[in-house]
Structure 1
Amino acid sequence: MTPIVSVVIPVFNRADLVGAAVQSVLDQKGIPFEILLVDDASTDDLGATVARFPGAPLSVLRHAVNSGAAGARNTGIAAARGDWIAFLDSDDIWLPGKLEQQLAFLTSRGLSAGCTDYYIRRALDTEEVEERLLAYKEELTLRDLVWGCYVSPGATLMVRREVWDEVGPLDPAYRRFEDWDWLMRFSRRHRLGMLAQPLSCVRFSAPPARQQVTEGLMRLEVRYGSLLAKESPDLARRFRAGIAMERAAMAFRDRKPLIAAWHVLHSLALVPISNLAFAKVVAPRVRGAAYGGTRPRVILPGRPSASS
């Protein structure tokens, strides 16, 4: 049977985690799919994990040299046969019904791509998760996406293959923010659907390498700063405010509160009212502090609690 959806999962040295991601795809019902697992030059025993799924619609594509998430996803998409492409990171999982519900949402609205809300899991030894309800409208444009990449496309994005080909592949020069770059290109021509229902669970692991974040933000500024300034000063200010908030987040992770505060103030100086980046980056941390350093948690739907 020809797949309707091609699910691309890049993996690098996560043989212990990717099995759960694959199983969460195999648990999807009602939509013919294929899984393209792209081994980005792993050195662990990924083969043993793959062997747990005999007869599954699963293909493994191997890189001899590590090329990063962008290059790995591009390899998977080049081999895809489906009308739709869906992304899943190797340490994340989908909830039951994700494919069917998201595809129905997109097709009913005539949209060519979309993301969903998601849960956040900060530890592997618990089924407790934090709800990440993004409070976006159902259709996003460039005006929304210049703020940053808060929709977790690595675990939630689904896009028509023909539109992917039109927009072009992920840029492998980015080791961070390659998804933000792609969404910026996409949203110059298309609307991004946003299904306000958590259908993925995203694991927050080690923070990204500082150099990758710094280089990614610089590439984005070079590519879009002048372009947006010529087209729309308002969009350019929003974009610069989003970049500043990403730098604030990086300083926060580095435990440099004064530098983080400076970047937050810079962002608010650029866009003092309706600053979406502030709402997505700073406000959750403030709410977390109000809960004694943690955020309200729930048990991942469809899974037992640790005490059961």
Structure 2
Amino acid sequence: MLKNPVISIIIPTYNRAHLIDKAIKSVLNQTYQNYEIMIVDDGSTDNTKEVVKGFADSRINYFFHTNNLGVSAARNTGIKASRGEYIAFLDSDDEWLPEKLNRQIKIFKSESSVVGVVYTGIYYSDEKGKKVKKVYMPGNEGYIYEHLLKRETEIYISTVLLKNECFTKAGLFDADLFIGEDYDMWLRIAKYYKFRAVKELLVVGLIHDSQTSANSEVMIEGVKKFQKKYSKELRTRPYSNSTFYFYLGNKFCHLRKIREGQKYFIKAVLTYPFCPKYYIYLLCSIFGSRGYMHISHIRRYFMNMRKVDDD
């Protein structure tokens, strides 16, 4: 065990024994090496423990939840056990490029004490390592609370390096949120600290067959909870609020609950009537669940055709 690690790297995982090996290797391959790794197994029933124990590195710490408590609880376990001045998060199906931590720690060492978070770009690949469409390069820096509320800035959790002290001021992850728990955290931290960006693609997200997210009903309830938590802030920011109504409308339509979906599309339009997309999706819903799903599949097909250039 490293005596005084500068960075604590928290990897929450659940039944990803077939993927976590690559995530851990990407950490061990970092050019910056002063860290500890906190792997929090959120009740896996596969051989995740055996895969982790197969790494003969004293910097790796393994924690096990006897019950599946959710990713927020897993991250909180890692935060509470961390000893580093800085904390990084890595999802167990993501990977870091070798210079990721080094680029970020250099910014912290050269910046003022008001910088709390440094984040990077991310791109996604399939299981063969080929880039796919989804690429995100960071933009906004400084005090970005308003940018976050207006949904003008996206920060992916595997891209961040932040000061451990941020959690003293902002608190731990909200385990009651089923979706957007990281977005909620960035909003809380942004009230106190500046954000800095490394405008390089230093994280790889994997798109794979076994990739699962919370089921649609749970995600819907999660979005409603998020809206309720930030109701005061969203009330004065109509565009931001409308994006949540649109999300709910689309989710309900995909569940073939067309009338419920239309209700939320209409709320999106009434909240922010200047977005053409809201009207288009509302119109598509008039064709019923079959028509809506058919149009959705056509849209997804053309989106998948727009691949990112290999270079």
Q: TM-score range by the shorter chain?
A: 0.7 to 0.9
Q: 104, 118, 121: which is aligned to 2:122?
A: 118
Q: CA deviation at 1:179?
A: 1.0
What aligned pairs does 1:119-134 form with structure 2 within 5 A after superposition?
119-121=123-125, 123-130=126-133, 132-134=135-137
Answering whether residue 295 of structure 2 is matched by residue 295 of structure 1, we say: no
Question: What residue number does 2:176 align with?
Answer: 173
Contact 1:149–1:179, Cα closer than 8 Å, also in 2 = no
Residue identity in the other structure for 1:161: N
Q: CA deviation at 1:181?
A: 1.6
CA distance in 2, matches of 1:168, 1:243: 24
72-81 vs 28-37, which moves further: 28-37
Q: CA deviation at 1:213?
A: 1.2
Q: CA deviation at 1:144?
A: 1.2
Contact 1:147–1:241, Cα closer than 8 Å, also in 2 = no
Q: CA deviation at 1:56?
A: 4.5
Per the alignment, in what secondary structure is the counterpart of residue 103 of structure 2? Answer: helix
**What is the Cα-based RMSD across aligned positions, in Å?**
3.1
C-alpha change, 1:198 and 1:38, in structure 2 (3 Å) is same
What aligned pairs does 1:78-227 form with structure 2 within 5 A after superposition?
78-110=80-112, 111-121=115-125, 123-130=126-133, 132-134=135-137, 136-139=139-142, 141-148=144-151, 151-204=154-207, 205-227=211-233
Question: What residue number does 1:60 align with?
Answer: 62
Q: CA deviation at 1:248?
A: 5.0
Q: Which has the larger radius of gyration?
A: 2
Task: Give TM-score, length-normalised by structure 1.
Answer: 0.80
What aligned pairs does 1:244-255 form with structure 2 within 5 A after superposition?
244-248=245-249, 250=251, 254=255
Number of equivalent positions: 284
Residue identity in the other structure for 1:46: T
Structure 2 residues without counterparts, runs of 5 or longer: 279-295
Structure 1 residues without counterparts, runs of 5 or longer: 279-284, 302-308
Task: Give TM-score, length-normalised by structure 2.
Answer: 0.79
CA distance in 2, matches of 1:258, 1:60: 47
CA distance in 2, matches of 1:92, 1:149: 24
180-189 vs 103-112, which moves further: 103-112
Per the alignment, in what secondary structure is the counterpart of residue 192 of structure 2? Answer: coil
Question: What residue number does 1:282 align with?
Answer: none
Contact 1:92–1:201, Cα closer than 8 Å, also in 2 = yes
Contact 2:8–2:37, Cα closer than 8 Å, also in 1 = yes
Per the alignment, in what secondary structure is the counterpart of residue 297 of structure 1? Answer: coil
Contact 1:138–1:195, Cα closer than 8 Å, also in 2 = no
CA distance in 1, matches of 2:54, 2:101: 23
Query: Between the two proteins, what is the percent identity of the paired residues?
Result: 25
Contact 2:120–2:138, Cα closer than 8 Å, also in 1 = no
Residue identity in the other structure for 2:229: R
Question: What residue number does 1:32 align with?
Answer: 34
Contact 1:148–1:243, Cα closer than 8 Å, also in 2 = no
Taking CA–CA contacts closer than 8 Å with sequence separation of 6 or more, which of the two structures ends up with the larger relative contact order?
1
